[in-house]
Amino acid sequence: MRRAFLALAAIVFAGVFATQSSFAEDKFIVVQSTTSTQNSGLFDSLLPIFKDKTGIEVRVVAVGTGQAIKNAANGDGDVLFVHSKPSEEKFVADGLGVSRSDVMYNDFVIVGPADDPAGVAGSGNAVEALQKIAETKAPFASRGDDSGTHKAELRLWKAAGVDPSGASGDWYRETGSGMGATLNTGTGMGAYIMTDRATWIAFGNKGDYQIAVQGDDKMFNQYGVILVNPEAHPHVKAEMGQEFIDWLLSKDGQKAIADYKVDGQQLFFPNANKGNS
């Protein structure tokens, strides 16, 4: 009788332990995000704070915004954190996301070599700068990857009345790569490059490169966060995903974003609850 009781107790204990272990192993979410949040070091700063507070591990898939949206649309993630508001709003309108919230912003800049072959250094007008780059056929390295940065770049070319695709492989080079790789390629070939400011500040291989064009309102760069819709993908960890979103939008999360700096420079500026949709 005693042996039977001990055996039963062992089975119950093993079951409880297995359940607890399974829960611990499962206490994570997947965030589909843009490369700039990863390359800038922001996630390395934010995610340990969130895990210490909640016990939830955040696993980031850092790709271009276009690919991140495709991945989330396929259900390969619980949260989408990217920077192309029209695409984000379409994601929600299509029933793939629950709702969208502004999280933070920074801006895009165009960087170039010290010899400035197109004569655009010091410009605050991105459209005019791109027109000069096209006119002089100065090398320009584009991500060409449907990322948020690439989408913003194409909008500026359109505003400039230039279709750079006609010069693809000539003065206009599409890397098909992330921001860090494109910066490495572009600086190696003496090309102008459009990048988000955060990645540029964190980039360690600047050489003689400097920011050539900045301060244009058209280069504003808004980031948004969306919970992937569990009605579209029932396996989505909606409760934990929403907890992460709520923390990002909270006073503590917004402070953690503002506090993140590289070389004394703030990379992202929190703006949750200001014009959210």
Packing angle of the helix pair 65-73, 85-93 (nearest 10 deg): 10
Answer yes or no: do 123 and 95 share one domain: no
> Considering the domain boundaries, does residue 275 fall inside one?
no
Answer yes or no: do 12 and 87 share one domain: yes
Answer yes or no: do 233 and 152 share one domain: no
Please answer whether residues 77 and 85 qualify as being in contact, where contact means their C-beta atoms are separated by less than 8 angstroms.
Answer: no
Element (H, E) at 38: helix 35-39
Using the 3D structure, point to which of 219, 236, 253 is the last residue of a domain: 219
CATH number at residue 138: 3.40.190.10
> Considering the domain boundaries, does residue 30 fall inside one?
yes
**Which pTM value belongs to this model?**
0.85
Per-residue pLDDT, 273: 80
Answer yes or no: do 80 and 212 share one domain: no
Closest by Cα among 86, 151, 126 to 216? 126
> Considering the domain boundaries, does residue 184 fall inside one?
yes
Cα separation, 152 vs 186, in Å, equals: 18
Cα separation, 41 vs 185, in Å, equals: 21
Answer yes or no: do 115 and 215 share one domain: yes
Describe the chain by its helix, strand, coil percentages, rounded to 5: 45, 25, 30
For 71: left if phi > 0, alpha if psi spans -120 to 50, otherwise beta; the answer is alpha
Per-residue pLDDT, 17: 46
**Surface-to-core class of residue 70, CB atoms within 10 Å of its CB (0-12 exposed, 13-18 middle, 19+ buried):** middle
Domain containing residue 266: 2-106+222-270
Looking up tokens 């991140």 gives 68
Answer yes or no: do 92 and 226 share one domain: yes
Structural domain count of the chain: 2
> Considering the domain boundaries, does residue 276 fall inside one?
no
Which two tokens mark 30? 């997947």
Cα separation, 179 vs 62, in Å, equals: 11
* Dihedral (CA of 231, 85, 269, 146) sign: positive
Q: What is the full DSSP assignment across 84-117?
A: -HHHHHHHHHTTSEEEEEEEEEEEEEEEE-TT-T
Closest by Cα among 188, 144, 186 to 164? 144
Cα separation, 118 vs 193, in Å, equals: 13
How would you write the pLDDT of the chain (277 residues) with one tens digit per residue? 555 545 544 554 545 444 444 445 689 999 999 999 998 999 999 999 999 999 999 999 999 999 999 999 999 999 999 999 999 999 999 999 999 999 999 999 999 999 999 999 999 999 999 999 999 999 999 999 999 999 999 999 999 999 999 999 999 999 999 999 999 999 999 999 999 999 999 999 999 999 999 999 999 999 999 999 999 999 999 999 999 999 999 999 999 999 999 999 999 999 998 655 4
